């Protein structure tokens, strides 16, 4: 614990120092952080160890609670793919990054997942929808809110967006309303009903998926995508 506070002190005070001393402090903070990850000794409160014990047995998944009170048990898995899928299944909002004539743009939208394929709705007049109409390439980020940097976990994806029509659209609508039943409830506000009447249904199809999980260390882990229709 004392090492954790020393690291925090170094990070917070580094920018106030002369350049030569600043570089030394930055390196020391880096080695304290990395050393904590390597030894598995610096864990968030209530977080259990990961990886393998001395006897080779797998440790329990990391458990704890996010800054908004959402339990993180069941998100941090030993297997990176399962962790990424748990993040996508647990969250409800994805941030989509698009680009257009006015430059890059980021938009948060509700989604429903099929593994890493995401269904979402938007007005065709929205900026991100107009961008996607010109260029279907898209990046996506999904992550629960956290207050401890050691608990940061999320999924980064790149892929393409396509408009849903016909039977694919009907199946997507059923899944979406199953996840967000308030959209089809008897007491749904008329303003929302009018907005839904003019939306377009889209599907984000990933071409690459990466997991960011500070409980594993800094950096990204590439997640393989299934190549079969199932």
Same domain, 100 and 18: no
Range of the domain at 199: 80-223
Give the model's pLDDT for residue 101.
95
In a domain, 143, yes or no: yes
Is there a single domain that holds both residue 31 and residue 86?
A: no
The answer to whether residue 66 is domain-embedded is no
In terms of domains, do 204 and 90 share one?
Answer: yes
**Do the domain assignments include residue 47?**
no
Give the distance between the most distant pair of CA atoms in the chain. Answer: 66
State yes or no: pLDDT of 168 exceeds 80: yes
Confidence at residue 230, expressed as pLDDT on a 0 to 100 scale: 38
Which pLDDT tens digit goes with each residue over 169-199? 999 989 999 999 888 887 888 888 887 778 9
Q: Are residues 35 and 127 in the same domain?
A: no
pLDDT surpasses 90 at 67:
no
Are 114 and 215 members of one domain? yes
18: pLDDT confidence band, cut at 50, 70 and 90?
A: low
- Using the predicted structure, report yes or no on whether residue 36 has a pLDDT greater than 60: no
With contact defined as beta carbons under 8 Å apart, do 156 and 220 qualify? Answer: yes
Question: Is 53 domain-assigned?
Answer: no
- 151: domain CATH number is 2.30.110.10
- Residue 93 sits in the same domain as residue 147: yes
Q: Is the pLDDT of residue 37 over 70?
A: no
- Adjacent-strand bridge partners of 208: 158
Residues 88 and 178 in one domain: yes
16, 104: one domain: no
Count of domains for the chain:
2
Q: Is 2 helix (H, G, I), strand (E, B) or coil?
A: helix
**49 is a domain residue:** no
107 and 6 assigned to the same domain: no
28 and 89 fall within a common domain: no
pTM: 0.65
Residue 210 lies inside a defined structural domain of this protein? yes
> pLDDT of 70-115, one tens digit each?
344 456 667 899 999 999 999 999 999 999 999 999 999 999 999 9
Q: Chain-wide mean pLDDT for the chain?
A: 75
Of 112, 97, 117, whose CA–CA distance to 181 is shortest? 112
Q: Tell me whether residue 50 is in a domain.
A: no
20 and 119 in a single domain? The answer is no
Closest alpha carbon to 8 in 38, 32, 43, 40: 32
Q: Are residues 33 and 87 in the same domain?
A: no
Taking residues 14-42, what's their average pLDDT? 42
pLDDT at 60 over 50: no
Domain presence at residue 74: no
Residues 133-157 have a mean pLDDT of 95
pLDDT at 13 over 70: no
């Amino acid at each position: 614990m004392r090492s954790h506070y020393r690291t925090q002190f170094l990070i917070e005070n580094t920018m106030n120092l002369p350049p030569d001393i600043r570089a030394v402090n930055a390196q020391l903070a880096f080695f304290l952080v990395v050393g904590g990850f390597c030894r598995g000794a610096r864990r968030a409160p209530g977080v259990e160890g990961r990886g393998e014990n001395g006897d080779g047995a797998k440790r329990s998944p990391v458990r704890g609670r996010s800054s908004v009170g959402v339990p993180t048990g069941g998100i941090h898995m030993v297997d990176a793919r399962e962790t990424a899928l748990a993040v996508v299944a647990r969250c409800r909002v994805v941030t989509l990054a698009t680009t257009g004539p006015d430059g890059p743009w980021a938009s948060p939208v509700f989604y429903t997942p099929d593994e890493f394929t995401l269904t979402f709705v938007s007005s065709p007049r929205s900026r991100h929808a107009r961008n996607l109409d010109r260029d279907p390439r898209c990046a996506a980020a999904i992550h629960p809110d956290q207050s401890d940097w050691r608990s940061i976990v999320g999924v980064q994806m790149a892929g393409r967006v396509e408009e849903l029509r016909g039977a694919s659209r009907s199946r997507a609508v059923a899944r979406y309303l199953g996840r967000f039943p308030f959209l089809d409830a008897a007491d749904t506000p008329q303003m929302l009903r009018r907005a839904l009447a003019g939306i377009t249904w889209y599907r984000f199809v990933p071409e690459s998926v990466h997991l960011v999980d500070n409980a594993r260390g800094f950096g990204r882990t590439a997640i393989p995508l299934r190549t079969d229709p199932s």
